[in-house]
Amino acid sequence: MTWDVFVVVMMAAFGHAAWNALLRAEANKRGMLRVMFTTQIAAALAIMPFVPLPNVESIPYLAVSAIIGVGAMLVLSYAYGLGDLSQVYPLSRGSAPLFVAVISMTLLGEEITWESFGGIFLIGLGVTSLSLTRSLHSLQNGPLVAVALASGLLTALCNMIDGYGARVSGSTHGYVAMLAFLLSLLMVVSTRLTERGAAAPLTTRATWLGILAGLMSLVTAWAVIWAMTHAPIPLVSALRETSIVFATAIGIFVFRERPTFARLLSITLVVLGVAVLRLSG
């Protein structure tokens, strides 16, 4: 992985943590998510006239990715009903790059050095272990672990589909714009269908934050998919999850969360994994 790709993915990881922090700061998260995805629909439609359309070969990738992407988010939402965010999210996000690496190496023939696999393993272990920083209770909750890992597997499948889809699309920009439109449209429809009762109104501030978060989410996804066309997908997928480091830093310095030793140890594993990936080339 070249330095420019490495820097782009790390910036995308920071952007991912930043828009999640905006979402966390808003009480009406469901309403803000609607604004985010509506913003992405509008942005994608505005971009499409200025980018080449993706090749026909990439259409199946787009359709499957959008459907699985919605499924991953719905499964993750269901997992949140089984346990705390601090338990579910690390299990889901930390397992995703491990799934990508194993599937890519064993089934798809992606060439990864053992040093790179070691870096991916350290990142996955570090992120996943964040779910255990308070207690080992989360591992005793079988349904929570199973659903969180299912979300991680679906996320991994999306990463691989988008990586290969962008590679055959002939236009990464066109692929991302079309994907953003399809995925966001499906998410808006699905959230409307699953919403119970009348939608809670959003403040003007929350609406603008939702627009900002939507644009940031689109840009970070764009950067990651572009990187997957220039570097091995498992490496990009693993580096993307370093967003947990930035999220932890934001939590400590912005939300005044307590930096426990266990959390710092988990973050150290992630940083060590990044260093191994970078040194492995």
> In Å, what is the CA distance from 148 to each residue of 33, 71, 259?
20, 12, 24
- Confidence category of residue 44, pLDDT binned at 50, 70, 90: very high
Give the residue with greater pLDDT, 194 vs 38.
Answer: 38
Q: How far is CA 254 from the centre of its chain?
A: 22
Question: Would you say residue 229 has pLDDT above 90?
Answer: yes
pLDDT mean across residues, the chain: 86
Residue pair 185/41 in contact by the 8 Å Cβ criterion = yes
How buried is residue 271: exposed, middle or buried, by Cβ count under 10 Å (0-12/13-18/19+)? middle
Residues 70-125 have pLDDT tens digits of: 998 888 778 767 766 667 778 888 899 999 999 988 888 888 888 999 999 999 99
Across 252-267, average pLDDT: 81
Residues 48-77 have pLDDT tens digits of: 999 999 999 999 999 999 999 999 888 877
Of the ranges 84-93, 243-252, 260-269, which is most confident?
A: 260-269
The ranges assigned to domains in the chain are 3-279
Across 40-47, average pLDDT: 96
- Confidence category of residue 261, pLDDT binned at 50, 70, 90: confident
- Confidence category of residue 279, pLDDT binned at 50, 70, 90: confident
Q: Which residues contact 151 (CB under 8 A, 6 or more apart)?
A: 72, 75, 76, 79, 88, 92
Give the residue with greater pLDDT, 198 vs 265.
Answer: 265
3-10: list long-range contacts, CB under 8 Å, 24+ apart: 5/227, 5/230, 5/231, 5/236, 6/239, 6/278, 8/223, 8/226, 8/227, 9/223, 9/224, 9/227, 9/231, 9/236, 9/239, 9/240, 10/239, 10/242
CA contacts within 13 A on the Cβ side of 158: 24
> In Å, what is the CA distance from 53 to each residue of 166, 171, 178?
12, 7, 8
Question: Would you say residue 244 has pLDDT above 70?
Answer: yes
pLDDT at 221 (0 to 100): 94
- Confidence category of residue 33, pLDDT binned at 50, 70, 90: confident
Share of the chain above pLDDT 90, in %: 48
Residue pair 219/211 in contact by the 8 Å Cβ criterion = no
pLDDT at 134 (0 to 100): 56
pTM for the model: 0.89
Q: Which residues contact 123 (CB under 8 A, 6 or more apart)?
A: 94, 97, 238, 239, 241, 242, 269, 270, 273, 274, 277
pLDDT at 130 (0 to 100): 80
Report d(CA 199, CA 65) in Å as an integer. Answer: 28
Q: 172-194 and 142-169 helices cross at what angle (nearest 10)? A: 150
Question: Would you say residue 28 has pLDDT above 80?
Answer: no
Share of the chain above pLDDT 70, in %: 92
Residues 160-218 have pLDDT tens digits of: 999 999 999 999 999 999 999 999 999 988 877 776 665 667 788 889 988 999 999 99
